[in-house]
Structure 1
Amino acid sequence: MNLPDLKGLRGKKPLAVAGALAAVALIILITALNSRVYAVSVDGKFLGNVKSKQVVETAKQKLIESYREKLGSEIQLAQNIEVTPGKPAKGDMLGEEELLKKLEESISVRIKAVAILINDSEVAAVKDRQTAESVLQAVKDHYVSRVPGELVRVEVPDRIKLAEKYVDIKQVMTLEDAKNLILNGTIETRTHTVGQGENLWSIAKQNGIPFNKLIEANPQLESADRLSPGDVIYLKEAKPLLNVTVVKRVTYEKPIPYKTQIVQDSSLWKWDQVVKQPGQNGVKQVSAELVYENGVQVSEKPLGEKVIKEPTARIVARGTKSEVAFRGSGRFIWPVTGQITSRFGTRWGEFHTGLDIANSPGTPVRAANAGVVTFAGRNGGYGKLVIVNHGGGFETYYAHLNTISVSVGEKVEKGEVLGTVGTTGRTTGPHLHFEVRVNGAPKNPLLYLGK
């Protein structure tokens, strides 16, 4: 660069001198500006030098526009681009396209989204407000569709807020994913003490938990069928992030239980009864308002009832006729039902003095007629034995009993329980050995039973 000859300014007018000096200063300034470079860094990481700040600004705008074309929304650069004046560096003088490429490698992008906040906690972020509102509506619709009836109202007791914010693009969820996240929520574990009559099936249904999930939550159980009142089991269930109350009006039919009427019948023995008319439940139509919280019914408010069909009473005739106690009549009822395994008469070279009637151990054995107990205890091959004297020379024997429920001297009525079928004494299996004796001599019971 050629500068003016300052020596030649001697003797010149001051105005001319000042103009020449200004020209020199301008030339020096232009030269300095043309030789200056700018260092570009991202979060302290040096990327290179550029000739001017405009190169950086242009590359930055191109980067933003390229992301906007891909994402279709407002975006924000997550890191700061630092531009500082520097001295000419060896190499690394970047053009616009070279700088753009380095910026794409070094800068992450945040996208403008809408965050869904429930009770002041952020639970999900979606692309825009419309999507956020659709997510909330989809959660409500899920609970509405799960229960039957006419919709009355839907209530959400939680505080909901939608807020615009810039988030990492990976945080933006689809409508379906955000809905499922809110519905599934977090897993909550609590205990349940088993009550009378409860089982795993009823507990799972009552708490709205899938049966297989209840089994998985209780690996300590040896069997799903072995639960006793007082046992403690674990309930693991999803706690939704949004609570939804659904109120529906339903109409359903409910049975009206029939009643049983007892009528006296003098033609029947007092231990007998006969169903004269079978009962039949009635039907009523019930209208009610049901309240569900997160799909589980919590209350029912009756609105009205209408009887569609009246119930039909069950009528039972109960006998009043009785025999005079302690007077043998020779008419006996069967002391127990079952298969006759051995009859009265000769058997295996011996004389069998009674009738063997097979039945399960513990089956009640009843008095064949009214009388007085004259023996109750063990008696050799008879095992546990009860003897009842009916008067008029009649006696009945009840042998091989498992238990005895009467005592000597006790008066018993026809049909009263004397004990239970067993295998005591000489026997090959559970049965009742029944004898009828008249004046001490054994008689064939079949001649007296059922008369």
Structure 2
Amino acid sequence: MNLPDLKGLKDKRLLATAGALAAVVLIILFTTLNARVYAVSVDGRFLGNVKNKKIVERARQKLIEKYREKLGSEIQLVQDIKVSIGEPAKDGLLDEDELLRKLEESIAIEVKAVVVKINDAEVLAVKDKSTAESVLQAVKDHYISGAPGELVRVEVPDRIKLVEKFVKANEVLSPDEAKNLILKGTLETKTHTVREGETLWDIAKKNNIPLAELIEANSQLKSADKLSPGDVVYLQEIKPLLNVTVVKKVTRQETIPYETKVVKDNSILQGKRVVKQEGQNGLKQVSAEVVYKNGVRMSEKTLEEKVMKEPVARIVAQGTKTDVTYRGSGRFYWPVSGRITSRFGNRGGEFHTGVDIANATGTLVRAANAGIVTFAGRSGGYGKLVIVNHGGGFETYYAHLSTINVSVGQKVSKGQVIGSVGTTGRTTGPHLHFEVRVNGTPKNPLLYLGN
């Protein structure tokens, strides 16, 4: 073998080695490129690796379409999806559906909606403007239908503004949810100071609050059955988010009460009354304008009244006839024995209209003369009182009685027992207060008393 042949063989070997080396490099490069993965994360939280970026984009788009179909509006993702070169994981790669599920758990969805602002405060969000307008109309209709009568006008004093903006998907309400939120509003607590004689039932009725709820809201009270003046009661009432005033015209029928007229009749004995004509109520038609605020009746203005049936007066005849047999003589029998403790006339800055005759409680009191009983019952400071009309303008009064033995309209004879001494009314001890009146004017009884 000569030298030129050796050189050629060497060159061939070098070429073969270089080719093999290039093939190895290409194989290594191909394997490396095919083994590359992409790490997906949201807000720094690693979700997993995917084979390529197209899987991420398709999963993102599917997420948007899913919520767009559900909410029917423009959608945006609150957080960004970050894709970077990753390292192969032992648990493998995420497919498109697995990545979609992880994205849904990690990303907050915002939807373009219409926010309802009332008096500059954002109160709720619905999917679009037409929904917001229908909700507001439904609130008005709720109050309109809840008040009787013919609609005159509806007034909404609050400022309402509809603003389009992105909100969280779970903040978008359905029409019914939005209407109920406006109507129910918030609970507002007020206080009420108890007045003399008031009960929880009175307060609950006046403020249109169920009694059970009022009791539950006032556990600080010592007793729900007994209140003391000055006690503070807490009142919880619903304050709607939107104020709606409804004015209605109502037409109703009302009763016109009859009058009672008393006429004198000398054919009937004095002290007696006889109904000559029964009364009948009348009837009228009333038209009025009623104002309701948030469903609560606030005021009423009468527009017109039309009488449909006039009332018929009740006529009572008052007897003036004097029974001569029972007419007093003008000289009276002492109604009870005893010591006079207070005389007729001025007494301690006041005028005493009779005489006080002291005796023990239960002592019999007798009619000072014949007559007819015109009063028998309680009368203010007199306590238990009997009045006897003796005719001729004469009357006698028997006050502070412990018992009454006669009744109105009864005829009594001179000396007949009509009651007994007592301490009823304004008195400091047992005695009979006795008066003589002539034509209604008190006279000194001592000028008329005899046997």
TM over 0.5, shorter chain: yes
What residue is the counterpart of 1:395 in the other structure? 415
For residues 142-161 of structure 1, the aligned pairs below 5 Å read 142-161=142-161
Distance in 2 of aligned mates of 1:216 and 1:376? 51
* 8 Å Cα contact 1:143-1:246 kept in structure 2: yes
Letter in 2 for 1:411: V
Displacement of 1:211:
3.9
The reply on whether 1:79 has 2:79 as its aligned counterpart is yes
Identity %: 55
Q: 1:98 to 1:208 in 2, by over 3 A?
A: closer
The reply on whether 1:263 has 2:284 as its aligned counterpart is no
- Runs (5+) with no aligned partner, structure 2: 1-25, 334-367, 406-412, 440-449
SS at match of 2:157: coil
The TM-score with structure 2 as length reference comes to 0.64
Distance in 2 of aligned mates of 1:149 and 1:302? 14
What residue is the counterpart of 1:222 in the other structure? 223
Distance in 2 of aligned mates of 1:195 and 1:286? 35
SS at match of 2:424: strand
Q: Paired residues, what number?
A: 355
Show CA shifts across 1:140-160 (max 9, x none).
111111111011121111112
Displacement of 1:176:
2.0
For residues 210-289 of structure 1, the aligned pairs below 5 Å read 210-219=210-219, 220=221, 222-223=223-224, 232-289=232-289
* 8 Å Cα contact 1:193-1:230 kept in structure 2: yes
Q: 1:38 to 1:285 in 2, by over 3 A?
A: same
For residues 305-384 of structure 1, the aligned pairs below 5 Å read 305-321=305-321, 323-324=327-328, 325-326=330-331, 331=370, 333=372, 364=384, 366-367=386-387, 370=390
What residue is the counterpart of 1:410 in the other structure? 435
Q: 1:314 to 1:117 in 2, by over 3 A?
A: same
Letter in 1 for 2:312: T
What residue is the counterpart of 2:46 in the other structure? 46
SS at match of 2:183: helix
Q: 1:247 to 1:201 in 2, by over 3 A?
A: farther
SS at match of 2:242: coil
* 8 Å Cα contact 1:385-1:400 kept in structure 2: no
Distance in 2 of aligned mates of 1:175 and 1:385? 74
* 8 Å Cα contact 1:384-1:402 kept in structure 2: no
Distance in 2 of aligned mates of 1:94 and 1:408? 111
The TM-score with structure 1 as length reference comes to 0.64
The reply on whether 1:109 has 2:109 as its aligned counterpart is yes
* 8 Å Cα contact 1:208-1:296 kept in structure 2: no
* 8 Å Cα contact 1:117-1:161 kept in structure 2: yes
What residue is the counterpart of 1:355 in the other structure? none
Letter in 1 for 2:424: T
- Runs (5+) with no aligned partner, structure 1: 1-26, 339-361, 387-392, 415-438, 441-451
SS at match of 2:138: helix
For residues 38-187 of structure 1, the aligned pairs below 5 Å read 39-48=39-48, 53-84=53-84, 86=85, 96=96, 99-187=99-187
* 8 Å Cα contact 2:38-2:50 kept in structure 1: yes
Distance in 1 of aligned mates of 2:184 and 2:400? 69
Letter in 2 for 1:236: Q
* 8 Å Cα contact 1:376-1:384 kept in structure 2: no
* 8 Å Cα contact 1:155-1:244 kept in structure 2: yes
CA RMSD of the aligned region, Å?
Answer: 4.5
Distance in 1 of aligned mates of 2:95 and 2:400? 118
